[in-house]
Structures are given as C-alpha cells and as structure tokens.
Amino acid sequence: MVILNRLLTWDRLLAFAISIDTCCFFCMDSIERLDHIFFECSFSRKVW
C-alpha cells in the first residue's frame, strides 16, 4: 500500500473533498502526507 501510495493519509482524503483537519496526528506540526509520516515526522523519527 505504501509503494502504491494508497494509504489513506489526510492529504489523500482531502483530494476526495472530505473536510478534515490535515495536520499530522502524531506531531501536529505538518500536513499528513506519506513522505511526512515515514521520513519527516519528528515522532516517527523517534520510533524508527
């Protein structure tokens, strides 16, 4: 799912016109995108 970019991140849900808060659930500091979750998020970086 990650390779195909099919995870339901906030930025993808927003593309379906679903009105939501797009902030990252973990760090509340950036828009939740696939590359943010796996590579940029400060919380994920601590976990990895």
**Cα distance from N-terminal residue to C-terminal residue, the chain:** 19
9 belongs to the binding site for Zn ion (CB under 5 A): no
Pick 7 or 17: Cβ nearer Zn ion: 7
Name the amino acid, one letter, at 38.
Answer: F
Query: What is the rounded (10 degree) CA torsion for 32, 35, 37, 38?
Result: 180
Give the start-end residues of each E strand in the chain. Answer: none
Pick 17 or 46: Cβ nearer Zn ion: 46
34 belongs to the binding site for Zn ion (CB under 5 A): no
Pick 6 or 31: Cβ nearer Zn ion: 31
41 belongs to the binding site for Zn ion (CB under 5 A): yes
